[in-house]
Structure 1
Amino acid sequence: MAMVDRYRKSGGFNELLKVLETCNAKKREQIMAIIQSETPEWAAAIDQKTITFAQIISWESNVFLDIVSSIPSLQMAIALKSLTPAEYQVVLKKLSHQEQRKLELVYDEIKPTPVDISSGVFKVIGDVRDLIGKSVVKVEKFDMRLHIPNNFEATLVKPASKPPERPAQGTKGFQNSAFEAKAKVPAKPFDVPFYLATENRPEVLKNKIREITQQLALALQQNAQLKEELESKKKAA
């Protein structure tokens, strides 16, 4: 069972995206490595549709203003503490005078810890993902790459591989003649290719089995953690 199988239902891609957008970089990297190995088409879509805090504060003024007015000022102020003073001033200029004043009053009073700031950034990203889902923020109006159409999950299928073309029988020419000539060369007795002789040695096979077992255990562990995190988020909501 692939890690993304539980998210193949309608709306599941959004759920998975939100989980990945709001977890720390190390955990996201581990989960994405598994998804990339199992379902590369999902990994590519996730990379394209993912939003970051840096993206959010770079959006047009009217879009960012809609976001700020929809999110508690304390939460946004904590997230903005992740910026340098110069970056913070640039972001403030995107807002109306009223919103600037309201945000500055909170920003100047709070002294969050680095953990609080990191958590605040993830909360803002999660809230923005919800605003996109409710069409409060319409990404298709300013960045179509972030747009997720209905039943998007159904389009994330692995393309069928095209079978290799075989040369037509009886076709004359250099390539066909060379192929036939090569096929007629008798094999030498006990002429075993080097890679087969080495890769099938017992110690090599044991190492491969051990490596696959470790990868499977890691995948199962990450899958369980992802499920627990999703359930806790649902309960908290």
Structure 2
Amino acid sequence: MGMLDRYKKKGGFYQLLQLLETSPSAKREQFLSLIAGESPVWEEALRKRILTIARVYSWDGQYLVEIFSRVQPMTLAYALHGSPPEQIEQLLNCLPPISKRKITDLMAETNPSAAEKGTCVSKMLSEVRGFVSQGIIRLEKVDPELHIPENIEEILNSSVHAVPTYETEAMKKDGKPNIVGESVEGSSSQEVEFLKRKMNQLASEVNALKHENSVLKDKLSQIKKIA
């Protein structure tokens, strides 16, 4: 039984992603190497969706304020501690002046160790994941590359099985691909990649429509109550 087998069911991708995000960097790379040995498709999909604090800090201020206003001030102060002053200034500009002053005062009054800062960074990332699950942060709008389609396990498993089929058809009797086979293999990989991107796009659009439908239902319910 491979390492990935237990994660190929619905929700498994997210569980594995959380495991990677909460692991130390060295351990994370070990996990990713093992995953790559079983499925390069899964390894690539996971690697590009790993949430880092640098990635969060790169988001627009309208989304950062949703995060910064919800995490504990001390957690944010510890996580930002040691960052370049210009970066801190830029990041905290999304907050109201009073909230911004509270964070800067906490940063001036404290001197967290590297371990304490690391703990607060991890806590912030876990909270961001929670905000994503609650719909407070919608990755399809904030950072589309990090968005996880609902059926991502199905998409990845289909991609895993698609390429060997073409390779088998393109093989000679002696087990070596001929010139035509090499061409077919290359084009099939491109087709699989194209279809994968298309399915991710469609899944994102479906999720956006579901959200809009939910908002419209709430508005209609409110109108009916008023009427």
TM-score by length of 1: 0.65
Question: Which residue of the partner structure matches residue 159 of structure 1?
Answer: 161
Superposed displacement of residue 166, structure 1: 7.1
Secondary structure, counterpart of 1:156 in structure 2? helix
Match runs of 1:21-40 below 5 Å? 21-40=21-40
Cα distance in 1 for residues equivalent to 2:38 and 2:170: 27
Cα distance in 2 for residues equivalent to 1:166 and 1:55: 43
Match runs of 1:33-48 below 5 Å? 33-48=33-48
Superposed displacement of residue 82, structure 1: 4.2
Contact 2:63 2:142 in 1 (8 A): no
Gaps of 5+ in 2: 173-178, 180-227
Question: Which residue of the partner structure matches residue 139 of structure 2?
Answer: 139
Question: Which residue of the partner structure matches residue 100 of structure 2?
Answer: 100
More helix by share: 2
Cα distance in 1 for residues equivalent to 2:10 and 2:70: 26
Match runs of 1:48-127 below 5 Å? 48-127=48-127
Aligned CA distance change for structure 1 residues 134 and 16 (closer, same or farther; 3 Å)? same
Among all aligned residue pairs of Structure 1 and Structure 2, give the percentage whose two residues are the same amino acid.
32
Task: Kindly tell me the number of residue pairs found equivalent between the two proteins.
Answer: 168
Cα distance in 1 for residues equivalent to 2:31 and 2:45: 14
Contact 2:69 2:95 in 1 (8 A): no
Cα distance in 1 for residues equivalent to 2:37 and 2:170: 27
**Rg comparison, structure with higher value:** 1
Gaps of 5+ in 1: 168-174, 176-237
Contact 1:71 1:127 in 2 (8 A): yes
Superposed displacement of residue 20, structure 1: 1.0
Cα distance in 2 for residues equivalent to 1:135 and 1:80: 25
Contact 1:131 1:137 in 2 (8 A): yes
Q: CA RMSD in A?
A: 1.9
Aligned residue type for 2:87: E
Contact 1:32 1:43 in 2 (8 A): yes
Cα distance in 2 for residues equivalent to 1:37 and 1:107: 44
Q: Deviations over 1:61-98 (max 9, x none)?
A: 11000001121111111111141223212212232223
Aligned residue type for 1:57: Y
